[in-house]
Structure 1
Amino acid sequence: MSTPSTVDRAFETALYDAADAALDAAASLLAADPAADAELSRRGEEFVATAWRRGWQPADLVRIVRRELDDVHVRLVAALIRAQAPDDRPRGPRWAAQLDDVPEGTAAPRTDRFSHATAVLELYRLLLRLPSLEPLESGASGASGASGESRKAGQPGRAGDPRRESRPESRALVRIRALLAKAEATGYPEEAEALSAKAQELMARHSIDEALLSAHAPSPDAPGACRIGVEPPYEQAKAVLLDAVADANHCRAVWNEPLGFSTVVGFEADLEAVELLYTSLLVQAEAAMTKAEAAQRAGGRKRTKTFRQSFLAAYAHRAGTRLRAVAEAATAETGTETDVDLLPVLASREVAVTERLERLFPETTTTRLRGAGDAAGWTEGTRAADRARVGRRRPLP
């Protein structure tokens, strides 16, 4: 009978026992045996490969480690992901893009072997306990509404060549990125809102173009899915905002509150639009909230977490209304310009998205936004989202 390796003994001691004493004992074993380092790294790569089989993706893994542990653990998991990638199968452009975004650099600088071993074991404990997620890759088988409700998943649950597949970005997306960059950079809320509205208009037109191309293709596209982080604080209000953006762009979203992300289902061009616009609107909303809160304090009124939660909830609600109006207007105008009946094409894509969502999430629950009872916060949030002008500078109702 073979003698258990140092790594096996360390794992038996620490990975299945949450006590600090067990962790210290296991770290001491590893620190005293430099010959165990290679096996320790190899076993970490196996944990990463297991996470992929459980439905996790590179961005998900980095996000959960950053959420639950520290920077040293983020550097460790990034090194493992990059080391495991050449042994994995090709998984497509979205996965490859996530690999490109994995933080650069090697594992954290070592102060001593014991500290390093402790960090590795803390990371492996987390990886070992990851739940299974819904598989998002092609062929594998709560979001909020304007009312301030959010659907949540019923339960919480690329590698190969790590180089990103070459796919030229469309001119429309280049213009959209430029508009949103200007919106984030300007110090004038009215200009930021107008630029964001124009970006949404271009997104709607781009989505229609993609839908028409797909409808006439020999093999029409199928809807995909991606996960977008919804980070604290005020994650409920942020999930509402993400759902509003998804809804305006022909997508559907389901929020996984315990793991800190929403899964967005839709066609690829629409998913790209949702990722871009949500990130930009979140930056703008937080800047507007900071400014509004400063004005409240200057007036002698102290504001709290409830003010900020109410501000973001109101911003999300009103922004969703306006984004949908922009998208509907762009759809109607495009249909008139092209003399094409868009309704059957868009309806068939909506059905496809709904079917994919229901396959991924057979059961969802709906939760109502809490903590949005500050009247001043709600008013200021609505005003911040209400300054936009769209199209030919006509104010939205």
Structure 2
Amino acid sequence: MDDQATEATEATEATEAIDKAFAAALYADGVEGLDTGASLLAAAPEADAELWCRGEELVRRAWERGWQPADVLRMVARAQDDTAHGTDRTHQTQLAAELITTETRRYGDTLPPRWQAQLAELAPHDSPRSDRFSQATTTLALYRLLLRLPAIEPVGPAPGTPLHAPLPPGHEEPRILTRIRALLAKAEATGFPEEAEALTAKAQELMARHTIDEALLASRTHAKDTPGACRIGVDAPYETAKAILLDAVATANRCRAVWNEAYGFSTVVGFEPDLEVVELLHTSLLVQGTAAMTKAEAGQRAGGRKRTKTFRQAFLLAYANRLGARLAAAAQDVTVESPDAGELLPVLAARDVAVTSHTGRMFPETTTTRVRGATDLEGWAHGTAAADEAQVAPGRRRLP
């Protein structure tokens, strides 16, 4: 009886310590509350287990509000300095990754593929030990952020929700996507522009075949295929140009992109095969464009130029603008030249209507944003040239 009474007393004290710390740190603004809450937790080691359970609960609430693992980590990285007062940002990111990993274990193999891919990128690493006060401060800063995450548009079912089409054991992505990934990886790694063009062109050709084959298969089998959505990070700096590039890639592949500047991502709406293509191609073109920008900028500096911010901004805007036109033209060519064009065109038209309708339901209220004009002629010229070199379809090197 004495042991039971002691355990009950400790549990009560732990709960009280956490409740007081949360009241001071999570439900009030400013750094003083973090310090007060951290002091309470540092003096209550018996509260550690319950504190961790509270963190998992906050993560679970984030899933219910539409967030996914990559979204949460992106918000941690974007947190303002006052939120991270007294904390090590690396430790806070690591703590978030650990909470996400342990919380999602309860769902086993029922998580959607995109969740599994995001969790696979949470590479664990050992963090140096810190004192209890610092650990508590880091924990409370993270919990404050998690608690205040608003509801956003869901892009799939929350963990624990039965999937409409459970994945078979040993499910793997189509082999053609593996080939596309390999080709784009080589294009990004090579130092020879001609080789990069050839590799990217072959990848684009395989992408077009993949999406067309999937659209025709769904039509012929009368599959109840409906549009879905995914989120793609749009990180600073020059996020406006990056969002425009993603919009261009999405539009050319029969998807719609809606940019959320405040949270650093765009939501892309489309059919699953097209979403896969958008993710792959956008990432590759962004890597190739950044590499081309760095090379062009080095040449500018070698010529005695010092200002580079306006050059980069103009470069990426021109790169996105030019690629938008080229991708749209390439997509039209592949569709028209398909041997099944007569059957394919009405199928794609119906899918366009479905994607537009789904986007309208997800985002009934959207606004346009004004793009700050490019003021650097050299940057614009180099960005346009880089877009021309990033071949996106076989046989089409440049627009007239």
Report if TM-score (shorter chain) is over 0.5. yes
- Match 2:230 to one of 205, 220, 226: 226
Higher relative contact order (CA 8 A, sep 6+): 1
- Match 1:367 to one of 344, 366, 369: 369
Report matched runs for 1:270-289 at 5 Å.
Answer: 270-289=274-293
Query: Are the aligned partners of 1:86 and 1:160 in contact in 2 as well (CA < 8 Å)?
Result: no
Q: Which residue of 1 aligns with 2:272?
A: 268
- In structure 1, C-alpha distance between the alignment counterparts of 2:266 and 2:310, rounded to whole Å: 23
Report matched runs for 1:171-320 at 5 Å.
Answer: 171-320=175-324
Query: Are the aligned partners of 2:335 and 2:341 in contact in 1 as well (CA < 8 Å)?
Result: no
Query: Are the aligned partners of 2:288 and 2:390 in contact in 1 as well (CA < 8 Å)?
Result: no
- In structure 1, C-alpha distance between the alignment counterparts of 2:94 and 2:257, rounded to whole Å: 30
Q: Does 1:130 align with 2:149?
A: yes
Q: CA deviation at 1:262?
A: 0.2
CA deviation string 1:275-321 (max 9, x = no partner): 11111111111110011111112222233211101100000111121
Q: CA deviation at 1:105?
A: 4.3
- In structure 2, C-alpha distance between the alignment counterparts of 1:121 and 1:348, rounded to whole Å: 49
Query: Are the aligned partners of 2:285 and 2:390 in contact in 1 as well (CA < 8 Å)?
Result: no
CA deviation string 1:91-132 (max 9, x = no partner): 4222233223333247x4321111100100010111111111
Q: Does 1:110 align with 2:97?
A: no
Q: Cα RMSD over matched residues?
A: 2.3
The structure-2 alpha-carbon separation of the partners of 1:287 and 1:339, relative to structure 1 and needing over 3 Å to count, comes to: closer
Q: CA deviation at 1:14?
A: 1.0
- In structure 2, C-alpha distance between the alignment counterparts of 1:126 and 1:394, rounded to whole Å: 48
The structure-2 alpha-carbon separation of the partners of 1:368 and 1:198, relative to structure 1 and needing over 3 Å to count, comes to: farther
Letter in 1 for 2:242: K
Letter in 2 for 1:113: R
CA deviation string 1:346-377 (max 9, x = no partner): 01111111111111100110112214221111
- In structure 2, C-alpha distance between the alignment counterparts of 1:382 and 1:65, rounded to whole Å: 35
- In structure 1, C-alpha distance between the alignment counterparts of 2:54 and 2:270, rounded to whole Å: 36
The structure-2 alpha-carbon separation of the partners of 1:388 and 1:65, relative to structure 1 and needing over 3 Å to count, comes to: closer
Q: Which residue of 1 aligns with 2:54?
A: 43
- Match 2:337 to one of 333, 337, 342: 333
- Match 2:139 to one of 120, 129, 136: 120
Q: Which residue of 2 aligns with 1:350?
A: 352
The structure-2 alpha-carbon separation of the partners of 1:112 and 1:159, relative to structure 1 and needing over 3 Å to count, comes to: farther
CA deviation string 1:56-77 (max 9, x = no partner): 0111111111222522111111
Query: Are the aligned partners of 1:58 and 1:99 in contact in 2 as well (CA < 8 Å)?
Result: yes
- In structure 2, C-alpha distance between the alignment counterparts of 1:394 and 1:105, rounded to whole Å: 45
Q: Which residue of 1 aligns with 2:394?
A: 391
- Match 1:20 to one of 31, 39, 47: 31
Q: CA deviation at 1:220?
A: 2.5
- In structure 2, C-alpha distance between the alignment counterparts of 1:291 and 1:265, rounded to whole Å: 34
Gaps of 5+ in 1: 141-157
- In structure 2, C-alpha distance between the alignment counterparts of 1:166 and 1:346, rounded to whole Å: 31
Report matched runs for 1:54-93 at 5 Å.
Answer: 54-68=65-79, 70-88=89-107, 90-93=110-113
Identity among equivalent pairs (%): 62
Q: CA deviation at 1:328?
A: 1.4
Query: Are the aligned partners of 1:200 and 1:323 in contact in 2 as well (CA < 8 Å)?
Result: no
Gaps of 5+ in 2: 1-11
